[in-house]
């Protein structure tokens, strides 16, 4: 084999390895997600693109307020939401306040100005309607940050661990919105 043919052969192998690694990374390590709609405003914006971690999804890794990507059987699509309730908890909203098992929980991720503007825009008194739900073993309650425009566990019911396909990550587009998602 001549030197030139050997170089071409090695280059071809390198290209195949890079393609295989890239496919492997996008299939098993990260999930590209395009944010569709306003359900996660003011945290994630419509048409943003994020790379979401698809590894390490185990019950003990999922914490309250993590942002997750889920397979929604009812909607027949992937959705991105925030974990509010964990397995075996009672989730209650009363007067826009969150209670878990009777204990008040602050929602520091919500932007107060955004919440107030949304209530005025949609002419409502509450950002989150009152409700109470008790989760079974292995169930997660998720909600969009824009409670007035989110289809989430309030309508779809709780999700299970196998529904969660990714969690945490990085918004990569638009470049002005680059941020970690945790």
What CATH number is attached to the domain comprising 147? Answer: 2.10.109.10
Identify whether the C-beta of residue 114 lies closer than 8 Å to the C-beta of residue 42: yes
pLDDT tens-digit map of 105-161: 999 999 999 999 999 999 999 999 999 999 999 999 999 999 999 999 999 999 999
**Catalytic position from the list 39, 48, 150, 153:** 39
Tally of domains in the chain: 1
Provide the edge-to-edge strand list for the sheet that holds 103-105: 103-105, 97-100, 90-94, 131-134
Active site residue 39: yes
Identify whether the C-beta of residue 157 lies closer than 8 Å to the C-beta of residue 151: no
Identify whether the C-beta of residue 111 lies closer than 8 Å to the C-beta of residue 127: no
pLDDT tens-digit map of 41-96: 989 999 999 988 887 777 778 999 999 999 999 999 999 999 999 999 999 999 99
**Catalytic position from the list 48, 81, 92, 150:** 81
Domain range enclosing 40: 3-181
Helices (H) and strands (E) in the chain, counts: 3, 12
40/85 Cα distance (integer angstroms): 17
């Amino acid at each position: 084999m001549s030197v030139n043919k050997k170089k071409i052969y090695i280059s071809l192998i390198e290209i195949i390895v890079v393609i295989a690694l890239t496919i492997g990374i996008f299939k098993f390590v990260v999930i590209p997600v395009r944010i569709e709609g306003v359900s996660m405003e003011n945290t994630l914006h419509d048409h943003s693109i994020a790379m979401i971690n698809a590894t390490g999804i185990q019950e003990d890794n999922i914490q309250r307020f993590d942002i997750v990507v889920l397979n929604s059987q009812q909607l027949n699509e992937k959705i991105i939401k925030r974990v509010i309730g964990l397995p075996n908890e009672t989730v209650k909203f009363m007067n826009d306040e969150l209670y878990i098992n009777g204990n008040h929980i602050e929602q520091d991720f919500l932007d107060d100005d955004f919440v107030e503007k949304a209530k005025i825009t949609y002419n409502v008194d509450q950002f989150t309607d009152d409700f109470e739900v008790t989760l079974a073993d292995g169930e997660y309650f998720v909600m969009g940050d824009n409670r007035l425009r989110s289809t989430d566990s309030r309508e779809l019911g709780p999700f299970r661990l196998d529904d969660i396909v990714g969690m945490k990550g990085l918004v990569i587009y638009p470049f002005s919105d680059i941020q970690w998602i945790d």
